[in-house]
Structures are given as C-alpha cells and as structure tokens.
C-alpha cells in the first residue's frame, strides 16, 4: 500500500481556491493504493464497513462505490383508473391541513 497526495495541493498559492473544474477533475482526498489481497477483500462489498487495526481500534470506514447502471428506478404502480379518479376529485387539502392531520395521528 502507498499514499498518493492530491495533485492540487502543490499547485495552489496561499489563499487561492481551485476552480470548480479543477476540483471536479482532481479529488482533494488523499488516495491509499491497496495491494491486490486487501483490495480483493473489499471488492464486491455492497454496504459500508469499518476498517480496524489488529487490536480492533476503528481506523475509519470504507463505503463502496455502487454501479447504478445495475439498478432501475422504482415508482409506485398507478392504474389509469386511479389517475382518472384523482383528476375528477374535488376534494383537495393544503399542505398545512395535511401536516395538521399527520400531527393528530402521531398523538394517537
């Protein structure tokens, strides 16, 4: 394993801020390059895990990058009949009325 410092740090003058383009192009986070064995242990994780030293002391967390191309958006299935019914409804509530109703439900 070895550390790789952010490229922007050496290029900035005191008080100077990187442009949005520079920040997006070069992460300001230090990279820790893992050996193949350790990287293999992290590969395939789908949830955050704690990284600990041999004594069990927590050093930090690892949050895996998820490939969102494997996911599809989920939305409630609403039938045409339900949509027609909603369009024809004359009974509507303001946000304040809905919030007041929810508060009464919490108190029950």
Asked if the structure places residue 12 within a domain, the reply is: yes
Report yes or no on whether pTM surpasses 0.85.
no
Which residues, 6 or more positions from 58, have their beta carbon under 8 angstroms from its beta carbon? 50, 51, 52
pLDDT beyond 70 at 96:
yes
Asked if the structure places residue 8 within a domain, the reply is: yes
Tell me which residue range forms the domain holding 35. Answer: 2-70
Asked if the structure places residue 33 within a domain, the reply is: yes
- Residue 48 is predicted with a pLDDT of 92
Asked if the structure places residue 97 within a domain, the reply is: no
31-39 long-range contacts (CB < 8 A, ≥24 apart) are: 31/3, 31/4, 32/1, 32/2, 32/3, 32/4, 33/1, 33/2, 33/3, 33/4, 34/1, 35/1, 38/1
Asked if the structure places residue 53 within a domain, the reply is: yes
Asked if the structure places residue 76 within a domain, the reply is: no
pLDDT tens track for 68-89:
787 788 888 899 999 998 889 8
pLDDT tens track for 14-54:
556 656 666 555 557 788 888 999 999 999 898 999 999 99
Asked if the structure places residue 47 within a domain, the reply is: yes
Asked if the structure places residue 55 within a domain, the reply is: yes
Domain count, the chain: 1
- Give dist(CA 66, CA 46) in Å, integer: 7
């Amino acid at each position: 394993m070895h550390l790789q410092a952010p490229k922007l740090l050496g290029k900035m003058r005191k008080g100077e801020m990187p442009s949005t383009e520079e920040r997006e192009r070069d992460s300001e986070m230090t990279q820790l390059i893992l050996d193949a064995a350790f990287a293999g242990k992290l590969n395939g994780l789908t949830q955050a895990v704690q990284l600990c030293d041999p004594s069990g002391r927590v050093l930090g967390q690892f949050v895996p990058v998820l490939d969102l191309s494997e996911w599809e958006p989920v939305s409630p299935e609403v039938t045409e009949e339900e949509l027609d019914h909603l369009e024809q409804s004359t009974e509507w509530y303001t946000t304040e009325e809905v919030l007041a109703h929810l508060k009464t439900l919490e108190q029950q």
